[in-house]
Structure 1
Amino acid sequence: MAMTLLLLLCLTGHVFALKPPDVDCLVVHLQSVQCWWNTLAPPEVNYTFFGRFSSCIFSNECPSYVTENGTRTGCLLPYNSKTDRFSTFCTLLQYGNSSHKQELELKSKVKLNPPIHVTVQMGSDFNLWYYWNQTAYNCVENEVRISTNGKNWDISHISSGRQFYTINMPSPSSMYEMQVRSRLADQCGQSVIWSEWSNPVTWGSNNGTDTTAQVGALNSVWTPVLSVIGLCVLILLAVTLLHYERVRIILLPVVPKPSPVHHDIQDWIQISKSLKESFSQSYNERTCPVQEYHPVSQTDGGSLHSSTSSLSSSDNLDQSGLSSPCSSTSSTSTVLESSEEPEQVSV
């Protein structure tokens, strides 16, 4: 009984050991299909592998096996058409009477080779330009990583259709190291698998190329030119400022600052000298003689004499040539008083 049980366990374990493992596949650079079945552990036996697109009816065995320590671990199959990956890929792995069939979708499982011919050069615009080549670049997007002076990588995404990258105004005293990788873009059925990074290219103070010398020569030429241009701009600004300052002074005279000391407003008003003298105050005026005349009593003969003397006095004042207003007023008042006296006499 014990021997029977032991024999049954051995046969069962042998059966489980012969169960074929799962197969994983991907399209390599749109040129071949690579499959492997050693993901979990190395296989114990040499399996036979079949695979094809669009149909699970197998006729041809794997043309090229990948081996490890004499054991088959994978297979390489030709990729006949660029549109094959949009179809289902069928696989069959078997050993003796055991077999394992799978259906895989390889549309998003395309791995490109790393970009080639990666170069770097300093452009005439003083920018650093990186170039590379990749198959079907219109369907490929790229990623570039840059390390400056051996520090951490900075990754930048490059859209499809471009196979170059620019570093604006790099420092000649710094060391730049760049790598690039690729994958299929969305417009061509995007892949989730990136290629390996390309070989690094370097540029900078330690690269021993003539690029640094070229940049130094260009800088030595442009430095005096830019200095002369800057000096001309400063002179032009100074001339313009002086011109507008002169115009401002002419059109808008400066208002004098009020002083605590009292000054005549005529001292700073711009008026002519003759007009200024006409406003000057004069306190030297000619004297005006004033005479009072009292009423004459109404006596015979006396009133006529008084009137006559008043008129004669008035005539003498007029003849004396006095030009003051006072004299004319006195004369008028005298004449009026005299004219009144005869009326009294006539009464």
Structure 2
Amino acid sequence: LKVSSLCYRNMTKMGPSLIFITLLLLNCCIQANSITVNCIVTQDKDMTCMWNKDGLSFENYSLYYWYNSDGVKAAAPCAHYLQERGINIGCWFNSSAVRTFSTFNVRLNSSKQEHKQLFRNLQDLVKLEPPVKLHVENTSDLELLLSWEPSHGFRLLCFTYQVKYRSLASDSWTVKNVTSTQFSLPSYSRDKLYTFHVRSKLSDLCASAVLWSEWSVGVSWGRNDTIPITETSLPIIAIISVGFSIAFFCVLAMLIRTERIWVILVPQIPNPEKGLQDLYKMYDGDFQEWIGVSKDVVKSLNHNYTEPLCSVCEDTECPVVENKKPPPT
């Protein structure tokens, strides 16, 4: 009883972990059993069919295929397997084995299970090559005309296109559906740089395709007045700034230390005290003697006369003032 109760307690403690492990194993089994074949037909009419692309199943499947017109008895094995770590994950068919307007059947066999899948119209699985020879020009001041050539392999009526474009100042793309090999952009700006890309697929006239080609190589038109600063250029700008600052301070220190260059660049104001030392030391501040003026000239310039005093008043009230000679000096 003690042993059974102990086991019961351990099982109750491990209950959530056991449930999680069980669900994980069930999920893996479901994914392993849910094998789906995905086929893509290229523009050259060859085809690639893939399964177990993510490596969820370790079963090594064998593929057999046939067309409805031939019957299941004509099932043929895959001639060119695609493998990863020794496990078959796909099959490649050359153009001679592909009939685009026929119903295609595949069967996957392994030691544990069998999977069948039907593709009614292989033309719906065609993935075209991107358009080529993109060219853009301004036909007038109000219109840009973009043109291109479709990839080969189908009639022109079987193509439909999408054009995406934007200016350098915009972060988002504008996408337009086009049925011809030309696209017109009205009301453009001459001061902006425009970039265009084009992709294609089979139109509804020839198939019910859902696979678009990759976007073509871009073509640009206009003027790029802005030079964006990329992340790689930021360290270069920082290094140049620091180097320039260091060089500036080094040159400034050299100028301060070199007195001759400093005097040439920044002339000093002359000190008048050096030129007037004799005036104060030898002539006791006598400017006339310092400049060489004789004493006789100095005496001749002195005044030796005086003027009589004169009273100013009205005629009736003015007393008579006798003129007196000034005392001799």
Superposed CA offset, 1:1-42 (max 9, x none)? xxxxxxxxxxxx999898582222232226122211125654
Aligned match of 1:87:
102
Aligned match of 2:89:
73
**Per the alignment, do residues 172 and 58 of structure 1 end up closer, same or farther by CA in structure 2, a change over 3 Å counting?**
same
Residues in 2 aligned to 1:175 and 1:70: alpha-carbon distance in whole angstroms: 51
May I ask how many residue pairs the two structures share in their alignment?
A: 194
Residues in 2 aligned to 1:81 and 1:187: alpha-carbon distance in whole angstroms: 24
Aligned match of 1:191:
209
Aligned match of 1:36:
50
TM-score (norm 2): 0.50
Aligned match of 1:158:
178
SS where residue 78 of structure 2 aligns?
coil
Aligned match of 1:143:
162
Aligned match of 2:317:
none
Residues in 2 aligned to 1:180 and 1:76: alpha-carbon distance in whole angstroms: 28
Gaps (5+ residues) in structure 2?
Answer: 1-25, 226-329
Q: What residue identity is the alignment partner of 1:155?
A: V
SS where residue 189 of structure 1 aligns?
coil
Aligned match of 2:120:
105
Residues in 1 aligned to 2:31 and 2:218: alpha-carbon distance in whole angstroms: 45
Residues in 1 aligned to 2:117 and 2:147: alpha-carbon distance in whole angstroms: 42
Aligned match of 1:131:
147
Q: What residue identity is the alignment partner of 2:101?
A: F
Superposed CA offset, 1:33-80 (max 9, x none)? 221112565431432222233233354322322333443221121344
Q: Of the two, which has the highest radius of gyration? A: 1
Superposed CA offset, 1:197-223 (max 9, x none)? 11222222139xxxxxxxxxxxxxxxx
Residues in 2 aligned to 1:206 and 1:179: alpha-carbon distance in whole angstroms: 18
TM-score (norm 1): 0.48
Q: Which has the higher helix share?
A: 1
Q: Is the 8 A contact 2:53 2:89 kept in 1?
A: no
SS where residue 57 of structure 1 aligns?
helix
**Per the alignment, do residues 68 and 122 of structure 1 end up closer, same or farther by CA in structure 2, a change over 3 Å counting?**
farther
Q: CA RMSD in A?
A: 3.4
State whether structure 2 residue 193 is matched by structure 1 residue 175: yes
**Per the alignment, do residues 15 and 197 of structure 1 end up closer, same or farther by CA in structure 2, a change over 3 Å counting?**
closer
**Per the alignment, do residues 63 and 78 of structure 1 end up closer, same or farther by CA in structure 2, a change over 3 Å counting?**
same
Superposed CA offset, 1:255-290 (max 9, x none)? xxxxxxxxxxxxxxxxxxxxxxxxxxxxxxxxxxxx
**Per the alignment, do residues 185 and 15 of structure 1 end up closer, same or farther by CA in structure 2, a change over 3 Å counting?**
closer
SS where residue 27 of structure 1 aligns?
strand
Q: Is the 8 A contact 1:20 1:95 kept in 2?
A: no
Residues in 2 aligned to 1:131 and 1:70: alpha-carbon distance in whole angstroms: 47
Q: Is the 8 A contact 1:50 1:61 kept in 2?
A: yes
Aligned match of 1:61:
77
Q: Is the 8 A contact 1:43 1:73 kept in 2?
A: no
- Taking only the aligned residue pairs, the percentage that are identical comes to 28
State whether structure 2 residue 135 is matched by structure 1 residue 119: yes
Q: What residue identity is the alignment partner of 1:200?
A: G
